[in-house]
Amino acid sequence: MTTVRYATAPGAGLALGLKDPVHGAQTVFRAVLRAMSRPGEIQDLTMALGPTFAPPHPLVPAAAAVCLALLDLDTRLWIDGGGDGAAAYLRFHTGAPIADAPDEADFAVIADGAMIPRLDAFSPGTDELPERSATLIVQVAGLNSRTGEGAWRLSGPGIDGTADLAIGGLRDGMAEELAVNFRRFPRGVDLILCAGARVAALPRTTKVEAL
């Protein structure tokens, strides 16, 4: 009988995932749910992730943590600008298969919000099966609840009146594309915005107006 020996174990050399995979993922999942149910409200994952959580470049901690909490063997992932290191890391820690094109993905990671593809490149689901739409995990330069450069006024379900959210580093034209996305309901994509260890969400039910 021949014994096969491997020089390195599967996943050797990859950055570590969440320190407590079960409870950490639950904490991040709850934060994402709150962000989705309260559009524009910023969730800080710093305490949940701890000081040693360091995903590979170009993933920021919040985006990596959201992926670890939401992805699994049945969710197809497309990565834009993530490089082989990020793909290997997410594939190893979540088991998610990598999609070849954005319109095949259940989740998409956008490494640079300034370079995000057009929203209509992703699956919007159907009127009968809107849950088959894509969720975009978009890395941005900053998130701030105060009005400033890149500020949008949000309204819709989960918002008491209106809410303001300033997003740094999204490309021009996004407000107009999100307005089209809003009008496609129940079809459309959902956005999870990540900056450092902070998360906010723009579900398809949210109306966005540039200030």
97, two tokens: 């298969």
Mean pLDDT computed over 74-94: 91
Q: What integer pLDDT is reported at residue 148 of this predicted model?
A: 65
3-state secondary structure the chain: CCCCCCCCCCCCCCCCCCCCHHHHHHHHHHHHHHHHHCCCCCEECHHHHCCCCCCCCCCCHHHHHHHHHHCCCCCCEEEECCHHHHHHHHHHHHCCCECCCHHHCCEEEECCHHHCCCHHHCCECCCCCHHHECEEEEECCEEECCCCCCEEEEECCCCCCCEEEEEECCCCCHHHHHHHHHHCCCCCCEEEEEECCEEEEECCCCEEEEC
- What is the rounded average pLDDT for all residues in the chain? 90
Q: What integer pLDDT is reported at residue 157 of this predicted model?
A: 97
Residue 193 or residue 20, greater confidence:
193
What confidence tier does 22 reach under pLDDT thresholds 50, 70, 90? Answer: confident
Is the model's pTM score more than 0.85?
yes
What confidence tier does 1 reach under pLDDT thresholds 50, 70, 90? Answer: very low
Q: Which residues, listed in sequence order, are joined to residue 166 by a DSSP beta bridge? A: 144, 151
Domains of the chain by residue range: 21-210
pLDDT at 161 over 60: yes
CB 171 within 8 A of CB 116: yes
Angle at CA 180, nearest 5°, toward 40 and 195?
A: 35
Lowest-pLDDT choice from 6-10, 109-113, 172-176, 191-195: 6-10
- CA gap 40, 163 in Å, rounded: 6
Mean pLDDT computed over 51-64: 93
Angle at CA 195, nearest 5°, toward 177 and 35?
A: 70
Mean pLDDT computed over 189-211: 96
What confidence tier does 107 reach under pLDDT thresholds 50, 70, 90? Answer: very high
Q: What is the pLDDT of residues 96-106, one digit of tens each?
A: 999 999 999 99
pLDDT at 111 over 90: yes
- Tell me which CATH homologous superfamily contains domain 21-210: Bacterial phosphonate metabolism protein PhnH (3.40.50.11310)
Question: Rounded to the nearest 10 degrees, what angle do helices 61-70 and 83-94 cross at?
Answer: 40
pLDDT at 37 over 90: yes
What confidence tier does 147 reach under pLDDT thresholds 50, 70, 90? Answer: low
